[in-house]
């Protein structure tokens, strides 16, 4: 098979090796699918471990199966797959070339630990004297300065947070180095650049949540008991800072009334983003349910605009929450959230009853909008692909080419393209992987295989 490549070169050979950027569920799934098809994969993850946001979740809707139970075996599989080269704590800096022949520059960030030598014994972490807020627990818990982000991390090798390290900031301490039996701690380590040639790229960089300071009227960032949905996931996780007990951050009390507020930032053309974040209706239903399972005499309220439960088993799940777990849904928006004594008072409107409502809650959980992961625009620039006005990667055609970026050989998967739930993410990642393997099964870059004319046109028009 051989057709004219888009860049007018006569033909081009294909490096049958893929780069996957991002080690969340999307990137892991894409990597496994490509690797299982017999091709090499370089999986780059900027955090010290793969797992992404999904490994932070407690149970998942609508089946309530434990996220770690799904993720942990997959993470191990990724790390042990003979075709996958896992590069954690690395970031893609620059990409040149075209489909079939991309040259990628990857920054391997200084971990101050030789992660090849390290055996993962954990002694250094145990002995490290400094504690700082844990990113993995969204600052609800603490971690050491030399740290593995969470116990099931892959690889289970620590990195040193240079900003907070006593030795790296003041030259004192160095306990981790002293206790390391294999001499893996290396304070002299610096960032290094690695070059890789690949034939195709899957971009799976995921999402962040809408910034705290943008939702001031809900007191987020001001009152410790006003938290985000992701923070609630950590409170609810057996591996989390409260070992799975629902205790509010301010004083550790078990909250008797919890208010969930939907569409915080999402679907808000005036002050937030106009789009729907797609996962919040379901995770709020799940949160309310899980909360009730753990606090049987508690009451969960959900302020919502409308309930979007459009996946398989989703509507049934929401109904179950209402009927079996007594989740009280209030259709309407919240105008203000404020601290009064040890209560968090929520003022809202119940538009079905036509009344203003006030709830003196113990904790408030905000479904803050899904936004593209920090750095998405910068990466898009390096890859020469397009983002929309919010920073989500733009697909070549929303319907006909929904996993292709505008640039041949660069595929999209997961929330970096648009907000989506886990089933959709996994499906899209598998689709992106199949496009990569289809490309790799050709001998040379060709037109019909990639449907280049259409994609090329789309890419051009999008850029203009």
List residues binding other proteins (CB under 8 A).
216-217, 336, 338, 340, 345, 347
Residue 215, CB-side half-sphere exposure with 13 Å CA sphere = 31
Structure tokens, 13: 């050979």
Q: Which is nearer to other proteins, 217 or 342 (CB)?
A: 217
For other proteins, the closer of residues 336 and 460 by Cβ is 336
Give me the helices (H) in 60-155, please.
67-80, 123-127
Nearer to other proteins, 216 or 398 (CB): 216
Instruction: Tell the smallest beta-carbon distance from residue 367 to other proteins (Å).
Output: 18
Q: 345 or 449: whose CB is closer to other proteins?
A: 345
Task: Select 187 or 347, whichever has its Cβ closest to other proteins.
Answer: 347
Judged by DSSP in three states, 369 sits in coil
Q: What is the secondary structure of 156-210 as a DSSP string?
A: ---EE-TTT-HHHHHS---HHHHH-TT--B-TT---EEEEEEESEEEE---EEEP
- Alpha-carbon gap, residue 24 to 29, rounded angstroms: 8
Smaller CB separation from other proteins, 172 or 340? 340
Instruction: Give least dist CB 160 to other proteins, A.
Output: 38
Kindly state the smallest distance separating residue 9's Cβ from other proteins, in Å. Answer: 51
- Min. distance of Cβ 216 from other proteins in angstroms? 4
Q: Phi and psi for 438 in degrees, rounded to 5?
A: -60, -45
Quickly count: other Cβ atoms within 10 Å of residue 137's Cβ: 21
Closest distance to other proteins from the beta carbon of 273 (Å): 16
CB 222 → other proteins: shortest distance, Å? 8
Q: Is the peptide bond before 45 cis (omega within 30 degrees of 0)?
A: no
DSSP state of 13: B
Strand 355-361 with 343-350, pairing = antiparallel
Q: Which residue in 160, 204, 153, 201 sits closest to 51, CA to CA?
A: 153
In whole angstroms, the minimum distance from the beta carbon of 208 to other proteins comes to 22
Compare residues 215 and 367 and give the one whose CB is closer to other proteins. Answer: 215
């Amino acid at each position: 098979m051989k057709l004219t490549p888009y860049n007018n070169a006569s033909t081009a050979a294909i490096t049958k090796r893929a780069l996957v950027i991002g080690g969340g569920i999307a990137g892991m799934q894409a990597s496994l699918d490509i690797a299982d098809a017999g091709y090499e994969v370089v999986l780059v993850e900027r955090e010290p471990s793969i797992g992404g946001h999904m490994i932070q979740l407690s149970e998942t809707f609508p089946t309530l199966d434990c996220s770690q139970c799904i993720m942990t075996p997959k993470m191990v599989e990724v790390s042990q797959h003979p075709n996958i080269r896992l590069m954690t704590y690395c970031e893609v800096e620059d990409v040149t070339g075209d489909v079939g022949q991309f040259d990628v520059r990857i920054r391997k960030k200084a971990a101050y630990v030789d992660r090849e030598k390290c055996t993962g014994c954990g002694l250094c972490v145990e002995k490290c004297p400094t504690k700082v807020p844990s990113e993995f627990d969204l600052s609800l818990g603490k971690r050491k300065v030399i740290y593995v982000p969470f116990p099931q991390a892959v690889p289970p090798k620590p990195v040193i947070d240079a900003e907070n390290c006593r030795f790296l900031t003041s030259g004192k301490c160095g306990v981790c180095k002293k206790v390391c039996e294999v001499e893996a701690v290396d304070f002299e380590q610096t960032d290094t650049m690695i070059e890789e040639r690949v034939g195709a790229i899957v971009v799976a960089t995921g999402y962040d949540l809408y910034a705290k300071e943008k939702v001031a009227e809900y007191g987020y960032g001001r009152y410790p008991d006003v938290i985000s949905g992701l923070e609630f996931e950590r409170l609810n996780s057996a591996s989390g800072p409260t070992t799975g007990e629902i205790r509010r951050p301010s004083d550790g009390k078990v909250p008797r009334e919890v208010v969930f507020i939907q569409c915080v930032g999402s679907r808000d053309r005036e002050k937030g983003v106009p789009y729907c974040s797609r996962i919040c209706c379901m995770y709020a239903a799940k949160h309310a349910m899980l909360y009730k399972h753990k606090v049987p005499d508690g009451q969960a309220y959900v302020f919502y605009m409308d309930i979007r439960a459009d996946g398989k088993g989703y509507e049934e799940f929401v109904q179950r929450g209402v009927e079996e777990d007594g989740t009280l849904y209030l259709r309407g928006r919240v105008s203000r959230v404020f601290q009064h004594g040890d209560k968090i008072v929520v003022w809202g409107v119940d538009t079905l009853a036509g009344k203003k409502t006030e709830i003196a809650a113990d904790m408030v959980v905000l479904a803050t909008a899904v936004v593209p992961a920090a750095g998405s625009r910068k990466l898009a620039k390096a890859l020469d692909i397009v983002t929309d006005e919010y920073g989500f990667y733009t697909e070549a055609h929303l319907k006909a080419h929904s996993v292709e970026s505008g640039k041949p050989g660069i595929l999209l998967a997961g929330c970096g393209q648009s907000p989506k739930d886990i089933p959709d993410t996994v499906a899209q990642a598998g689709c992106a992987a199949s496009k990569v393997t289809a490309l790799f099964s050709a001998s040379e870059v060709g037109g019909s295989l990639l449907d280049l004319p259409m994609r090329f046109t789309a890419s051009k028009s999008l850029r203009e």
